[in-house]
Structure 1
Amino acid sequence: MPYPFALPTTSSTSLEAFISSPSHPALPLSATTQRSILRDALKKHKRLPPTQQAAHLGVVQDAITGYLPYALGIASAVSSGRIGEEPVTISSTKQLQTEWRLTLSATLPGREPPRPPLAGIYNDLAFVLQTLAYTRVQQARSQLQILYSSNIPSPDRRTAAIGSAMKYLLEANSIHNYILNLHTQDPASAPLDTVNSTQVALAALALAEATLITVLKDDPYTTAVIQARNKDDKEWMISAPSIPKVRAHLFARLGLCASDHAQRAAASLAPGIGVLDSSLLNYVDDLRRTARAKAARFLACDAEATGKTGEAIAYLRGARRELGLAPLEQDASKRKGWKGIKQTFAEKREDRKVEKGSDDWGLDAGKLEEARVLEWLEIKWVKLNDTINTQLIPPSEPLMAAMPSGREYHTPKPFSPPSLDASLLARLRTPIDHNQNAFIGDEEDSGDEAVSREPAVVPGAFPGAAVAGNSANAYY
C-alpha cells in the first residue's frame, strides 16, 4: 500500500522535426532539450535497483517539472494560439509522433510491455502528467514504508510521514482528474494507460488510499501488532491500547468510504477496454476488502468498549470473511499444521520485503497486515469471553449488512499545472543558430531497456573477445 506503479520510459523525439514557431523560434529547441532530460531520468530510474529508486524520485520529479511547462505551452499554443497572455504561433511540419511504455498493459512473463507510437501533443502530455502522478504515489510509498518496519518510529515522525503520504496521494488524484480534461480537447483515440475509464479508476484508487491512511495515525492496534512481533521489543508487558467510542465509529465510516472509492475504481477497470495487468486488478479488489475489514474491526472495537464482547468477536469474524480468510480454530493461540506454517512463512516473507524496500511490498493492499490484527484481537477477546464475560457470539452476516455508510474526509483540490513565465517566453523569441542542436540525452534509445549493455562473451572465443549487442545467443 499504495500500489507500486512502474514509471514508464519514452523514446528520443526531436520536436524540431515536427513543429516550428515563427514567433518563438527557440521554443521547439528548448522543449526538445527538456524532454531529453526527462527521458534520461526515466531510463536511469528504471535501471536502478529497487532499494535506490526511492532516492532517485526527486530527480525524476525535477525532470518532469522542467518539461511539463513546455508541453503544456505547446498544447495551449496549438489549440488557442496563446501561452498565458502572450500570442504564440505554432506551425506543424508533420504530425507529432512519440513513444511511451505502456506499464498498465498485461504482457507475457519475462517480456517488456509494448511501446507503441502515439500521435499528437496531448498523448505525450497525458503520459508526462501520468508519470508525475506515479512519482507522487511512489513518494507516498517511501513515506509509509517506515510505518510497517520493525523499528517503530516516534509519534512525530509517524505523523509527518502520514501527512506527507496523504498529500502525495491527493495530488495524484488531482493529476488523474486533470488528464480527463485533456481528452475532451483531443478526442483522438488514447492508449489503454490514459483512456478516460483508466483515469477515473486511478483517481478513485488514489483517493481510496488517501482516505484509508487517515486512520493510521490514531490506529494503535496495527502498531501494537508490529511491535509484538519485534524480537528486540521490551514493552510486551504493557496492556493492549484502547480507542474511544466516537473515534472508533468515525474510523469505521472512513474505512467504508475508502471501500466505496475502491469499488468505483474496480468498476472503471472492468473488462471491455483492453487487457490490464492482473496485479492492478487484484490490488484494487484487495484494497476494497481490506477497507471493509478495517471498518468492521473498528466497529468491533466500538462494541468491545461498551462491554459487548460477543458482538465484537462477531464483527472480527465478519472482517476475516471479507478478507477471504478461513475462521480461526478453537485453539488459535498456536498455529498448527500446514496452514499455520504457510501463514507464518508468508508473514515473514512480507516482513523481509518491507525491511529491504522491495518494489513489490504491500502488493496485497495491506490485507496480510490487517489479517494479523484481526487474529491478534480475536485470540485476545475469545479468551476474555470464555473466562470472564461468557457472552453468546451472534452471527456476523446481519452485523456486516447493517454497517453504516461511509464518510468523506478529503476534499481534493484541482491540479495547478506549472506554466512558462513571461521572462522565459521573452528569451524564447531569440532567433536560434542553425548549427545549434538540442540535447538528445546520454542514454541510448532502445526499444527494450531490459537488454544488457555489457558486451556478450562468445563461448569458445579467445580470451578478451566479445561481441556487442544481442549476439549472446550465438552458439556453435
Structure 2
Amino acid sequence: MPYPFVLPTTSAFVFTTAFDSPTHPSLPSTASTYRSVVRDTLKRHKRMPPETQSSNLGLVVSSLEDYLPYLIALADGLAGRRRDVQVSVLPQRRNKGPGPLAAAGPESGPGSAPAPAAASGPALEWRPVLAEARLPGKEPPRVRIPLNRAALDAEAVFVLAALGHAYTLQARAALQPLYVVTSVVPVGSEQRKAALATALKHLQTAAGVFSFATTFAESSSSYAASASPSPEVSASTLRSLAALALAEATLLAVLKDDPYPAAVAQDRNEHDREWMYKAPDLPKVRAHLYARLCLAAAEHAARAASGVSGVAGISRAFVRYLQDLRHTSRAKACRFFAIDADLGGQTGTALAWVHGALLELRDGSGGPGGAAGRGSASPSSSPAADKKSLLDRFKKDRAEKREKKEDKRVERGAGWGGDAGRLEETRVLAMLDAKWTKQNDTVNTQRIPPAGPLVAQMPSGREFATVQPMVRPQLDASVLEAMRAPRDPLDALGDEVDGVTLVSSDDEGPELPTSGRQSAAPSSYF
C-alpha cells in the first residue's frame, strides 16, 4: 500500500506536423519541446534500477506539470473551448521515402484497431500500465491515438493519469522506510509521523489529479463521443483511480495514530534493542472513530472495484488489489471495534471482533484459515488428524516464505505492498488474538459471541476529507501572448530530415532533445 503503479512511456511526436495554430504559431512547437522532455524523463525513469527510481519521481512530476499548460491550451483551442486560441488539424500526408518512418496504409480512425506505426499514419502513442498483458512477462502493446479533434484531449488524459501515478509512487517512496524490518537504525516516532504526513499529502494530490482527469474526460464532448483509446483512460477507470487514492489516503490518516502496526514491525526487526529497556507504546486510541474511517475507506475501495470490474482489458492484478483493499479496510474496522470493546472490559466481544476481522481477510484471500474457524484439536492420532497437521504445517511454511519474499521486495523498493496490507493486518490481529485469548483464559473468562452478527451490524463509514480537484493548468497571459510570435524557421527545419517527417512512434526513431531545435539522431526508446 499504496498500489505499485508503473509509469507509462510515450512515443516521439512533433505537434507542428499535425496541428497548426493561426493565432499562436509558436504554441505547437513549444508544446513539442516540453513533450520531448516528458518523453525523455519517462524513458530514463523506466531504465533506472528500482532502488533509484524514487529519487527521480520529483523530476517526473515537474516535467509533467510543465507540459500540461501548453498541452491543455492546444487541446482547448482544437476543441473550441477557447475563442482566443485557434488550433486546427493539418491534412495528414504519407511520409516520403523508404524506411521505418514511412507510412503505408490507410489512416486510422477513432474506432479502428491499433496498427503498427509503419503501416498507418502518424499518431500519438502511449504504453498502458493497467492493461492486461497478452503474454506473461510481456508488456501490453502501445495504444495509438488517431489524429482527430479528440486527439489532444486523449493526450491530456494520458498525461494526467501519469501525473496521478507519479504522485502515488511518491507516497510509496515516503512509506517504504517504515516497512523495512532489517534496518539497523529503527525509524523513530517523529520520523514516522513525518513520513505518513508526506505520503498522505501525495495521495490527496493524486486523488485531486484523478478527479480532475475524470471531469476533463467527461466535459470534453469530442473525447466522450469517440471511443476511448485505452480502458485505463476511460472516465469510469479514472473515477476508480480517484476513489482508490482517497481510500488509501483515509487509511493513512488512520495509520498515523495507529500504534499497533508500528509495534508489530518493531517486534519483527532483529536489530531493534528498544524492548530491553522500554515496552512498546500502545496509547488509547479513538477506536470507534477510526473504525468508521476504515469503513469509509472500504466503501471507496468497493466503489473503485465496481468501476473497473466491468471494463474489459484492465489488469486482473489491479482488480484483485482493489478487492483486497476493501477486505483489509473492513478488517481494520473490526480490529478497532475490538479495541473499543477491550477498553470497555468486554474481552469476549473483542475476540469475536478479531475473529470477524480474520474472516474478512480470509474472504479476501479466498482460502481457508484464520482464528475464526479454529476449534479444539483432537488429541487422537488418526490419519485425518495427521493429514490436517501436515496441511497446517505446509500452509505455515508457505506463509513464512511469502513473508520473506515481501520483506525482500520492501528492501529493494519495488513491487511491495501488492496485497493491499493484508499481511500486515494479519500480523496485528494475530498479536491481539494471542494477547486477549490468554487474558480471557486466565483472568476474566467471558463467552465469545459469534462474529457474523457483529460484522453484519457495523455502522456506515465517516469521510476523512473531501477531494479537492486539481486546479486546471493554464498558461500565463504573458506566456500565451508570446506564443503569437511566428515560428522559428530552425524549428521548421527539424520537423523534416531527408524528406521524412519526424512523426514516428517506433521503438527505434528520432529522438527529440530538450532544446527548441529538433534532432534526427536515432535512439532507442521504451
TM-score of the two chains, using structure 1 as the length reference:
0.87
Residues 74 and 330 of structure 1: is their aligned pair in 2 closer, same or farther, counting only changes over 3 Å?
same
CA distance in 1: counterparts of 2:410 and 2:493, whole angstroms:
42
Deviation at 1:299, TM superposition (A): 0.6
Provide the rounded CA distance (Å) in 1 between the counterparts of 2:341 and 2:81: 63
Is residue 352 of structure 2 the alignment partner of residue 323 of structure 1? no
One of 318, 322, 329 as aligned partner of 1:284: 322
Contact 1:81 1:89 in 2 (8 A): no
Give the Å deviation of 1:241: 4.3
Q: Which residue number in structure 1 is paired with residue 352 of structure 2?
A: 314
Q: Secondary structure at the match of 1:99?
A: strand
Contact 1:30 1:438 (8 Å CA) reproduced = no
Of the three residues 154, 158, 161, the one matched with 1:127 is 158
Query: Cα deviation per residue 1:336-385 (whole Å; 9 max; x = unaligned)?
Result: 72222222221122112112212x10000000000011111111111111
For 1:99, give the aligned amino acid: E
Secondary structure (helix, strand or coil) at the match of 1:323 reads helix
Alignment of 1:200-215 (within 5 A): 200-215=239-254
2:466 corresponds in structure 1 to 411
Check whether the contact 1:252–1:296 (CA below 8 A) recurs between aligned residues: yes
- Distance, in Å, in 1 between the alignment partners of 2:268 and 2:302 is 32
Which residue of structure 1 lines up, in the alignment, with residue 456 of structure 2? 401
Aligned-residue RMSD, C-alpha: 2.5
Q: Equivalents in 1 of 2:23, 2:7: separation in Å?
A: 35
Quick one: which of 160, 168, 172 aligns to 2:194?
A: 160
2:86 maps to amino acid: T
Instruction: Return the alpha-carbon distance in structure 2 between the equivalents of residues 438 and 213 of structure 1.
Output: 52
The answer to whether the Cα contact below 8 Å between 1:33 and 1:438 also exists between their aligned partners in 2 is no
Write out per-residue CA displacement over residues 412-437 of structure 1, whole angstroms, 9 at most, x where no aligned residue: 11211332112222322222232335
Query: Are 2:182 and 1:139 equivalent residues in the alignment?
Result: no
Gaps of 5+ in 2: 93-121, 363-367, 378-389, 496-502, 509-522
SS state at 1:389 partner: coil
Residue of structure 2 in register with 1:354 after alignment: 410
Deviation at 1:88? 2.3
Contact 1:106 1:276 in 2 (8 A): yes
Does residue 139 of structure 2 align to residue 112 of structure 1?
A: yes
CA distance in 1, matches of 2:89, 2:176: 47
1:59 maps to 59
Does the 8 Å contact 2:294/2:329 carry over to 1? Answer: yes
Question: Equivalences for 1:135-284 in 2 at 5 Å?
Answer: 135-150=166-181, 151=183, 152-183=186-217, 184-185=219-220, 186=222, 187=224, 188-190=226-228, 191-236=230-275, 238-239=278-279, 241-244=281-284, 247-271=286-310, 273-284=311-322
Percent of aligned pairs with the same amino acid: 44
Q: CA deviation at 1:438?
A: 8.4
Q: Distance in 1 between matches of 2:155 and 2:91?
A: 15
* Counterpart position of 2:36: 36
Distance in 1 (alpha carbons) for counterparts of 2:506 and 2:404 = 38
Q: Deviations over 1:117-175 (max 9, x none)?
A: 11311000100111000001000111111222234422222222112211211121122
Distance 2:400 2:357 in 1: 20
Per-residue Cα deviation, 1:11-42 (whole angstroms, up to 9, x for no partner):
11110011112222211111111111111111
User: Which moves more between the two structures, 176-185 or 187-196?
Assistant: 176-185
Deviation at 1:240, TM superposition (A): 5.6
Shift of the 94–135 alpha-carbon distance from structure 1 to 2, 3 Å rule, reads farther
Q: 1:340 aligns with which of 370, 373, 396?
A: 396
2:26–2:483 Cα contact (<8 Å) kept: yes
Q: Which amino acid aligns with 1:402?
A: Q
One-letter amino acid of the structure 2 residue matched with residue 268 of structure 1: G
Query: Aligned partners of 1:140 and 1:57: how far apart in 2?
Result: 10
Within 2, Cα distance between the matches of 1:431 and 1:137? 40
1:177, 1:200 within 8 Å by CA — same for their partners in 2?
Answer: yes
**Partner amino acid for 2:370?**
P
Query: Which residue of the other structure, out of 328, 338, 352, is the alignment partner of 1:300?
Result: 338
Aligned to 1:381: 436
Q: Aligned partners of 1:4 and 1:13: how far apart in 2?
A: 28
**1:404–1:439: structure 2 CA closer, same or farther, 3 Å change rule?**
farther
Offset, 1:392: 1.3
Q: Which amino acid aligns with 1:89?
A: Q
**What's the offset of the Cα at 1:439?**
7.8
* 2:141 pairs with 1:103: no
| 2:88 counterpart residue number | 91
Kindly state the Cα deviation for residue 296 of structure 1 after the two structures are TM-superposed: 0.4
Change (3 A) 1:375 1:361: same
Distance 1:406 1:37 in 2: 43
Distance 2:16 2:136 in 1: 38
- Following superposition, the deviation at residue 446 of structure 1 comes to 6.6
What are the Cα deviations for residues 270-317 of structure 1, in whole angstroms up to 9, with x where unaligned?
A: 13x312111101100110010000010011111111111111111111
Q: Could you say if the C-alpha distance between residues 155 and 98 of structure 1 is closer, same or farther in structure 2, counting changes exceeding 3 Å?
A: same
Cα pair distance change 1:66/1:439, threshold 3 Å: farther
Contact 2:207 2:469 survives alignment (8 Å): no
**SS where residue 179 of structure 1 aligns?**
helix
Amino acid paired to 2:284: P
Sort the Cα spacing of 1:240 and 1:394 in 2 relative to 1 into closer, same or farther, 3 A: farther
